[in-house]
Amino acid sequence: MGEAHERGERAERIEKIERVELVELECTVDRLITVRPDGYTVARVTEAETATATAVAGGELIAAGRALAGVQPGETVRLRGEWVSHAKYGTRFAVDSCEPAAPSSVRAIRLYLASGIVRGIGPKLAAAIVEAFGAQTLAVIDETPERLLEVNLIGPGRKDLIVDSWIAHKQVRELMVLLQGYGIGPGFAVKIYGEFGDSSAQIVAEDPYRLVEAVRGIGFTTADKIALASGIPEDSPVRARAAVLDRLDAAAAVSGHCFLPYASLLAAAVALLGQDQLLVRQAVDALAEQRRIVIDTGVGAGKAVYERRMWDRERRVADGLAGLAETKSDMPRAVLKRLDALEAGPHDLHPQQLDAVRMALTSTVSVLTGGPGCGKSRTVDTIAALVRAGGGKVTLAAPTGKAAKRLAQLTGHPAMTVHRLVADKKDGLDAGALFDDDPLYADLIVVDEASMLDVSLAAKLAAGLVPGCHLLLVGDEDQLPSIGAGRVLADLLRVPGIPHTRLTHVFRQAAGSSITTNAHLIRQGLPPVLHAAPGFWFEDCDDPAAVADRVVEIATDRIPAKHGVDHSQVQVLCPSRKGHTGTIEIGRRIQERLNPAVEGRPEHWSGAAVFRVGDAVTQIRNDYLKGRAGVFNGTTGTVTAINPEDRTLTVLTEDDESVAYDFDELEDLLHAYAISVHRSQGSEYPFVVAPITTESGGLLLRRALLYTLVTRARTSVILVGQRKALRLAVEVAGQPRNTGLAQRLVRALAGPDARAAESETLI
């Protein structure tokens, strides 16, 4: 939710709620109704038999509040708050505090064990255990777990699984209580325990800043809250070093920077700490001595401060590409003869395309760029066909699974992800399943959608290149840069020593498309033709809430009905995650329309997301060990099963592979009903619907974002929103990223002496 919207909601609640006495309830959580990203949770609960307060009719009640964040169905909790009467929602219990409690009734114990909280116990086994031990069930598991073997359905292996899971769950609950003492929501407890296990409580209490680097989702602010409450001084050097690392990490994760200028880093860390600049300078010096950061005077203007791994990655990209560019080509002579014949004989290639073909076949490193309709795919197909016809081997790759699949469809030949191409054999990825031997040993490697290459992935690629092969990077430099840090494609285009060809001629067939026409107008900073039916349409709407209503209606009702297509053919793309028109809220509303909750059907809440069978999901992180050959960022699929007993969720991926996810791994999945424009890169959809508003201040509205959004549509794109937001998106160029790759590559191509001088730029 946007801040203004949240303030409005709070004001509305204060106005409409009639306050009554403060009470304490002990309840069993039956079902989560909704969980907001800020942790505000609404749950249906049943008051325990031992509660002192009077239950509402039927013993069921609705509890709501941020203090409920992280609770799961089946848990027993002790709530403190007040009964409220709301004009819209009726009577509910407004929760001020929530503590885990041991289930005290037989019913509560059965629900608790049946919920899947304890691995290895499902509804049937929970009923059998409770029937055997009654109210003493939890004491038996706790104190005499060997007695579980008395239950007919439990053998030694199942007993050990239950006991191990029970111990872990107890420690997580204790960790929740510890975190609450620091004012930290309980949702982080599972993550912390997953990383540190039995040492979790000690780490939290004694070295909370370790959480920042080790636990996803915990930033400096959260760790700092714990540290200060634990007595760590505000001017502690440990705190200052953590702040410096946090600012570098945030610069990479949020803005895509590989480094920060020294002065900018100091200012950002000082603002975060609220301390004197001298303390931050000393922290930077200490981190440099520890080799955790690098201060480089040979990049940008002045001092550039890198996190060590980022600096190493930039150097590996520069050294690897320079090394390949300097090696003698191993391209078969037969290929070059076929190139000569192509140039001499009749052909239907544009001169720019022909230049690109010669470049790729005569240069060991080269770049091909151009907008939609300019013939990049046809050019790549021609290059690959010439190599194969001349007896050479071609490897096709792209940064994401969807992009690789699309490349394979366009060329008619197998393609793989870059991750799979460069993966270590120890990772268990069978790249040879698509090729006769190692795909890195090719005469030509083509990487499509190269604008998506971040410096981390590019470093792995550069390190694996074989001397003598040809590398062709293909992409559209005007699209959004990579999600990860860096701007590899744009940097290479700035290096004179790397040959590149820019295709600018728009072919007649593509020129007739309103999508292509408008994409090129946007790329030039010109306003698109708003009502260029049938391919491009803009609907005026000023109110963000109304924009969201219309986007959901168009995506779920109007397009499927008008064009007779399935919902899967329509993709909603959003510039931001938050607010009325963000991916979270619009995606939630589309899910409720297309795949609502059904009483008795399994579902699982992970944070503010609820997963149900039939949900469209997408992978957001590379996992080399999952599935047959890894599951990578951008892989999409459908949830096919949810098993509370095993605490697993199964996804059928776009590659027709069933992949199991532990409930603790669900942060690697996002619902795909509405996705960010960034995550849509490399993909193409028949129909695209997108909100365009200034709801978040317009900070994300940039030309590259709008251009990328529009070029994702194959048949039709419908924009809904404010004309001023559209105008802003067209007029505002993107923010530059701090990278040193171009300068490093220029030096690396200058020869050994220049490369040797690289170390002299370090402080």
**What's the CA gap between 554 and 392, in Å, rounded?**
49
Is the distance from CB of 674 to CB of 583 less than 8 angstroms?
Answer: yes
The confidence score (pLDDT) of residue 755 equals: 59
The residue type at 720: V
CA distances to 153, 205, 600 from 273, rounded to whole Å, are 56, 20, 49
**What's the CA gap between 168 and 174, in Å, rounded?**
10
**What's the CA gap between 470 and 753, in Å, rounded?**
25
Closest to 319 measured CA to CA, from 739, 754, 755: 755
E runs forming strands in 132-231: none
pTM: 0.86
Which residues line the annotated binding site for ATP? 373-377
Q: pLDDT tens, 663-674? A: 888 989 999 999
CA distances to 149, 559, 618 from 679, rounded to whole Å, are 49, 22, 9
Mean pLDDT by 10 residues, the chain (763 residues): 42 44 85 87 81 46 88 88 83 88 85 83 90 92 92 90 89 84 78 88 90 86 92 94 95 94 97 95 97 92 93 96 95 95 90 96 97 93 95 94 86 89 60 61 96 95 95 96 94 96 84 86 93 87 95 96 93 94 95 92 89 94 79 87 90 90 90 94 93 84 94 95 95 91 94 63 69
The confidence score (pLDDT) of residue 8 equals: 41
The residue type at 318: A
SS3 letters across 532-547: ECCCEEEEECCCHHHH
Is the distance from CB of 72 to CB of 647 less than 8 angstroms?
Answer: no
Closest to 320 measured CA to CA, from 425, 493, 485, 457: 457
What's the burial of 577, exposed, middle or buried (CB within 10 Å: 0-12/13-18/19+)?
middle
Rg of the chain taking only CA atoms, in angstroms = 29
The confidence score (pLDDT) of residue 13 equals: 47
128 SS3 class: helix
Name the DSSP class of 465: P
Which residues line the annotated binding site? 373-377
**What's the CA gap between 317 and 322, in Å, rounded?**
8
Closest to 451 measured CA to CA, from 737, 228, 221, 63: 737
Closest to 208 measured CA to CA, from 179, 186, 180: 179
| DSSP conformation letters of 675-738 | EETGGGTT--EEEEEEEE--TTTTTT--HHHHHHHHTTEEEEEEEEE-HHHHHHHHHPPPPPP-
CA distances to 105, 381, 457, 540 from 28, rounded to whole Å, are 10, 61, 47, 47
The confidence score (pLDDT) of residue 3 equals: 41
Residue 709 CB-half CA count within 13 A: 30
Is the distance from CB of 148 to CB of 141 less than 8 angstroms?
Answer: yes
Is the distance from CB of 93 to CB of 85 less than 8 angstroms?
Answer: no
Residues 720, 722, 725, 727: is their CA dihedral positive or negative? positive
